[in-house]
Amino acid sequence: EPEVTQTPSHQVTQMGQEVILRCVPISNHLYFYWYRQILGQKVEFLVSFYNNEISEKSEIFDDQFSVERPDGSNFTLKIRSTKLEDSAMYFCASSERKRTDTQYFGPGTRLTVL
Amino acid sequence: GENVEQHPSTLSVQEGDSAVIKCTYSDSASNYFPWYKQELGKRPQLIIDIRSNVGEKKDQRIAVTLNKTAKHFSLHITETQPEDSAVYFCAATDSWGKLQFGAGTQVVVTP
């Protein structure tokens, strides 16, 4: 069964550094999402992406964040200058044909900012 | 925007008993309500979902009910087993597809 994949599984970085988190959505899916989950808390929406542009973003997704689909398979989340409070698990998700199709989550990238 | 409240935050049940988790939502435009199970350190896994044109849905030991008028929906797990122990999240989404999650319920099933 196809799955969303994410790399790396764990990323450790120094405050102020840039990080890029990578995701490969399920191949026939058209809608892509990033969520984050701070340890012990709920999953929070960051951004949705369709047809090579952002559909919606939350107040968390400020100018330090950006997303890109650099090729036909990858979907990336970039944090330009990481802060301590960016430490969290970041999940990528994708859905098939429309926004209200089931969203399938990747295994997550644990980001630790020191 | 949408706000999803989930109760209880923790739930301990004896193996074989039923577990019920309740959620409320605020946005009447929300039309899709999935439930995710998350084991420690793992991804959220969809276990069941319901759309706004349906009042109830069942899949083996798991059922979900939706009351659109009252804006609440519930997850029911019958004949609980130790492997049901996990954190369960409800979520709601409108036509834009943005999932708003509840705070989660830690379910502990004791043998």
pLDDT for B78: 97
Instruction: Flag if A44 and B101 touch (Cβ within 8 Å).
Output: yes
- What mean pLDDT comes out for the span A5-19? 97
Is residue B54's pLDDT more than 90?
A: no
At residue B9 the predicted structure's pLDDT band, cuts being 50, 70 and 90, is very high
At residue B91 the predicted structure's pLDDT band, cuts being 50, 70 and 90, is very high
Q: Among all chains, which residue has been given the structure tokens 């319920």?
A: B105
For B57, list phi and psi in degrees, rounded to 5: -145, 140
For residue A91, the chain B residues in CB contact (below 8 A) are: 43-44
Instruction: Flag if B97 and A104 touch (Cβ within 8 Å).
Output: no
Distance from CA of B87 to the nearest CA of A (A): 10
Instruction: Flag if A41 and B97 touch (Cβ within 8 Å).
Output: no
Structure tokens at B4: 């999803």
Q: Cβ of A44 under 8 Å from any chain B Cβ?
A: yes
pLDDT, chain A, mean: 93
- What mean pLDDT comes out for the span A50-70? 93
Is residue A52's pLDDT more than 80?
A: yes
pLDDT for A101: 80
Is residue A65's pLDDT more than 70?
A: yes
Select from A78, A91, A105, A106 the least CA-distant residue to A13: A78
- What mean pLDDT comes out for the span A2-27? 96
| Planar angle of CA B58, B108, A39, nearest 5 degrees | 100
Q: Rounded distance, CA A61 to CA A56, Å?
A: 10
Strand partners, B92: B100
Measure CB to CB from residue A43 to each of B46, B93, B101 and give the nearest one: B101
Predicted confidence (pLDDT) per residue in A97-114, tens digit:
776 788 999 999 999 999
- What mean pLDDT comes out for the span A46-50? 93
| Planar angle of CA B73, B54, B34, nearest 5 degrees | 50
- What mean pLDDT comes out for the span A51-58? 91
Instruction: Flag if B98 and A108 touch (Cβ within 8 Å).
Output: no
pLDDT for B95: 67
Interface A:B, Cβ pairs < 8 A? 61
Residue B64 near residue B48, CB atoms below 8 Å: yes
Predicted confidence (pLDDT) per residue in A73-100, tens digit:
899 999 999 999 999 999 999 998 776 7
Residue B85 near residue B14, CB atoms below 8 Å: no
Select from B92, B68, B64 the least CA-distant residue to B78: B64
Which residue does chain B place closest to A90, by CA atoms? B43
pLDDT for A102: 87
